[in-house]
Amino acid sequence: MKQMINTRHPVTNGLLLLTAVVFVAMQILRFGQATTAQTIYDFGGMYGLIVKVDPTQLWRLISPIFVHIGWEHFLFNSMTLYVFGYQMEAIFGSKRFFLLYLLAGVMGNLFILFLTPSAVAAGASTSLFGLFGAMVVLRFQSRNPYLQLLGQRYIALLLLNLALGLFNPEISLAGHVGGAVGGAIATVFLPTTSEPYLFTHQQRRMALGVYLLLVIGLVAISLGL
């Protein structure tokens, strides 16, 4: 058990625990109906049409990250987070990894709000694709041979999963693309522990500005502001 749960990566462990708690609560409180659209919505899933008419629901840009639709969805995303979360938390450090995970998820859910508002969507894959996007950036920018090799593998995973989304209508391609975009941008202003000066201060400020402009712009357009 000690080998399975690495206490040096508290953020990954905490995210896994929160994801599991939400999923178990859904199974208990909505037994037999845990995968219905109403249950997904009630537990915090993204439903853009509601957010458009009620901006106080913008908290749904974060909550869907921890909501999953069925056992297969939950187990697949949890295993992916378990494997890649430990790697990424070691690369970025706990605090920056936590921010990367959330910022990627927010951007993914913003893309869902903007592009597919009628869909009821949920899942950690918005954030997980952000991890893929982050490693793609490091593949081409890092001078660390280990990160370059790891990034090459992430590119293959990113392309494969995006391709799967093209042929499966149940997969939110908008959320995956948005998560990857968010993760890629956030990587510039959230430096890795081994290469804290990989990007200049100007590049970091520009990346942060681009991220904020995307968030503000997509929210404003989606809400008709």
pLDDT higher than threshold 90 for residue 158: no
Quick one: average pLDDT of 84-96?
95
Catalytic center residues: 125, 176
Q: Residue for token digits 């430990």? A: 86
pLDDT for 176: 93
What 3 state SS string does the chain have? CCCCCCCCCHHHHHHHHHHHHHHHHHHHHCCCCCCCHHHHHHCCCEEHHHHHHCHHHHHHHCHHHHCCCCHHHHHHHHHHHHHHHHHHHHHHCHHHHHHHHHHHHHHHHHHHHHHCCCCEECCCHHHHHHHHHHHHHHHHHCCCHHHHHHHHHHHHHHHHHHHHHHHCCCCCHHHHHHHHHHHHHHHHHCCCCCCCCCCCHHHHHHHHHHHHHHHHHHHHHHHCC
pLDDT for 5: 67
Instruction: Judge residue 219's burial from the number of C-beta atoms within 10 Å of its C-beta, 0-12 exposed, 13-18 middle, 19 or more buried.
Output: middle
Of the chain, the percentage scoring pLDDT greater than 90 comes to 79
Quick one: average pLDDT of 141-165?
83
Quick one: average pLDDT of 171-187?
93
Mean pLDDT: which of 94-108, 166-180, 189-203 is highest? 94-108
pLDDT band per the 50, 70, 90 thresholds, residue 4:
low
Quick one: average pLDDT of 176-180?
95
Quick one: average pLDDT of 159-164?
77
Q: What are 216's two structure tokens?
A: 């503000």
The answer to whether residues 193 and 91 touch, using CB atoms and an 8 Å cutoff, is: yes
Quick one: average pLDDT of 35-59?
96
Phi, psi of 46 (to 5 degrees): -80, 130
| Structural domains of the chain, with CATH | 10-223 (1.20.1540.10)
Q: Which of 14, 142, 119 is nearest to 69 (CA)?
A: 119
Model pTM? 0.93
Which range (17-31, 107-121, 150-164, 167-181) has the least confidence?
A: 150-164
Quick one: average pLDDT of 74-100?
95
109/182 Cα distance (integer angstroms)? 10
Phi-psi region of 91 (alpha: psi -120 to 50; beta: other; left: phi over 0): alpha
pLDDT for 1: 43
Q: Which of 4, 36, 122 is nearest to 74 (CA)?
A: 122
Q: What are 75's two structure tokens?
A: 């187990």
pLDDT for 150: 86
pLDDT for 61: 97
More confident residue, 5 or 113: 113
